Amino acid sequence: MTSVLRPDQRVHPSEAVPSPAAASSAARPSASASPASASPAPAPSAPGPARRATLALVASLLGFTVITVDVSAVNIALPGIRADLHGGMTGLQWVVDAYTLMFAALMISAGALSDRAGARRAYAWGTGLFALASLACALAPGIGWLIAARVAQGAAAAVVMPASLALIRQAYDDPRARARAIALWTVGGSVAMAAGPVLGGVLSETVGWRAVFLLNLPVGALVLALLSRTAGSPRRPAPLDVPGQLTAVTALAGLAYAVIEGGHAGWTHPTVLAAGAVAVAAGLAFRAVEKRHRAPMVPLPLLRQREVGVSLAVGFAVNAGFYGVVFLLGLYCQQLLGMSGITTGLMFVPLAVLITSTNLVSPRLAERVGRRPVIVTGQLILAAAMFALLPLAADTPLWLVLLLLAPTGIGGALAVPALTALLLDVVPGHRAGTASGLLNSLRQTGGALSVALFGALIGGADGGTGGSGFAVDGMRQGLVVVGVTLLVTAGLSGWLLPRGRATAS
């Protein structure tokens, strides 16, 4: 779910806008120009600074939109993928989690790559790789191929996210214009969240699930065309924490594998125990590496700040609730209620409208009553949503499903903007990018592990559903686990977060 971001989130102030001389070079007449031609119009290949800034914003918005659409659209296309590639529930979980886990693990240090290569160049690399990986997804002959291509998609998305914001920072030197540009970027994410399920449903029902991935190709081509007409980006030295990155990916992959396979093979199965051991060992290795690295991607002293630790836990829990429910209800509506992909996609539109409107209300409410009450209330609403969904069954009417789904959008969208603002206020300015990247990474990880948990629980037995492969009892167990987790993090928020109102920025 999209949060309202501050202008310094994943933004690198050292990235300068083009110098006035460079910006105006396209408008200068050549030495051989006739004196009569006093002020020739700029050549089409060299747009002015204002136009280049607009093109950079549109390119950033399109890229961010397409990686957001891909998350929610694929959830609705899962039944079609299962029918065509015969991957089973485990395969479907990896189709979702392969993307999300790579996105989460690489996002922490992707900003350093953007700095080293330059925002425009890194953004072009990420977009090109995302388009190629999408083509590989569309051509997948089997579930293994599709999962591998989703890994590449997730890695590309991790580069696109911070580079898109850095590109906006470079294009807009004026703080007010930059704030408006980032607001548009943020709203674009909310719109993408709404469009994803609808596009996934319409395309998978009318053309086939492969069209969900093919849609990324023309968008990627358009982004690259726009980038070719934007200003170049400066590079600056930025160390890469390769050992930390490798151990982080290994730990998250091992944990996800243990959760996914544990629900099907049993929690004491040798492969599940081995995956858990790998996750623990990689986690300990990550801690040791970060303590010794001269430029760690996660500075450990940052995690010792009370507000930072609580914010990361809340972000994890909120996304576990939201993305777990999106995954769950996409399968519930199609496999248990027998709804079409189009109808299932349309069902999520009111949810996205609630998210967008609540995102806009949350900062103002935080200024009025304080951030802590808003963060706690949002989590309590989301926890209540988990428990409200417990009565869902094969004969639940659609209107009741929509009604029970509403608090899911309100709760998370209320908490996240205030949470993000709080986190960025309590960390030093030079750590703002690291802190926001870490928060987004933990949020993605929460979503990935929630999908793993729900998939393991609902895919085990029929649960009395007449062979649908959707275990209602497992669904309820997962909802209780996530609901209790949210109650715990809400309690921690109320106890440990600072009192007082937000200061207007």
pLDDT tens, 395-444?
A: 899 889 999 889 998 998 899 888 888 887 888 766 666 777 788 888 88
Smallest CA-to-CA distance from 186 within 322, 64, 73, 71 is with: 64
DSSP alpha helix (H) spans, 216-332: 216-227, 242-265, 270-292, 300-303, 306-331
% residues pLDDT > 70 (the chain): 84
Give pLDDT, residue 38: 46
**Distance of alpha carbon 330 from alpha carbon 369, whole angstroms:** 36
Give pLDDT, residue 320: 93
Give pLDDT, residue 488: 96
Tokens standing for 381?
Answer: 């609403």
> Where does the pLDDT of residue 142 fall: very low under 50, low under 70, confident under 90, or very high at 90 and above?
very high
Give pLDDT, residue 151: 93
**Distance of alpha carbon 50 from alpha carbon 97, whole angstroms:** 40
Least confidently predicted of 4-18, 99-113, 322-336, 463-477: 4-18
Residue 464, classified by CB atoms within 10 Å of its CB into exposed (0-12), middle (13-18) or buried (19+), is exposed
**Distance of alpha carbon 61 from alpha carbon 15, whole angstroms:** 19
Most confident of 301-305, 339-343, 385-389: 385-389
Q: What does each C-alpha distance from 498 to 92, 426, 486 come to in angstroms? A: 41, 10, 19
Burial 249-279 (b: 16+ CB within 10 A, else e): bbbbbbbbbbbbbbbbeeeeeeebeebbebb
Give pLDDT, residue 238: 62
Q: Could you tell me the fold of the domain covering 1-11+46-229?
A: Growth Hormone; Chain: A; (1.20.1250)
CATH of domain 306-505: 1.20.1250.20
pLDDT tens, 78-132?
A: 889 988 998 788 888 889 888 988 888 887 777 667 667 787 888 899 999 999 9
CB 471 within 8 A of CB 463: yes
DSSP for residue 19: P
Tokens standing for 329?
Answer: 């209800």
Give pLDDT, residue 236: 66
DSSP for residue 48: -
22 versus 235: the higher-pLDDT residue is: 235
Distance from the first to the final alpha carbon of the chain: 23
| DSSP string computed for 415-428 | HHHHHHHHHHHHS-
Nearest 5°: the CA angle 162, 427, 60 is 15
| DSSP string computed for 372-389 | HHHHHHHHHHHHHHHHHT
> Where does the pLDDT of residue 278 fall: very low under 50, low under 70, confident under 90, or very high at 90 and above?
very high
CB 109 within 8 A of CB 297: yes
Q: How far is CA 201 from the centre of its chain?
A: 20
**Distance of alpha carbon 229 from alpha carbon 50, whole angstroms:** 12
Give pLDDT, residue 465: 43
Give pLDDT, residue 491: 95
Per the listing, tokens 């996105």 go with 103
Residue 35, classified by CB atoms within 10 Å of its CB into exposed (0-12), middle (13-18) or buried (19+), is exposed
% residues pLDDT > 90 (the chain): 27
Radius of gyration for the alpha carbons in the chain, expressed in angstroms and rounded:
23
Least confidently predicted of 8-22, 161-175, 440-454: 8-22
Smallest CA-to-CA distance from 290 within 239, 238, 244 is with: 244
Smallest CA-to-CA distance from 101 within 257, 312, 286 is with: 257
> Where does the pLDDT of residue 23 fall: very low under 50, low under 70, confident under 90, or very high at 90 and above?
very low
Angle between helices 349-369 and 175-206 (to 10 degrees): 160
Give pLDDT, residue 46: 55
Tell me the whole-structure pTM to 2 decimals: 0.76
255 versus 314: the higher-pLDDT residue is: 314
Nearest 5°: the CA angle 17, 20, 21 is 120
CB 2 within 8 A of CB 186: yes
Say what the alpha-carbon torsion angle 138, 143, 147, 152 is, to the nearest 10 degrees.
-40
pLDDT tens, 36-53?
A: 444 454 444 556 677 888
Give pLDDT, residue 500: 61
Residues in Cβ contact with 128 at an 8 Å cutoff, skipping those fewer than 6 apart: 220, 224
**Distance of alpha carbon 320 from alpha carbon 189, whole angstroms:** 18
463 versus 338: the higher-pLDDT residue is: 338
Average pLDDT of the chain is 81
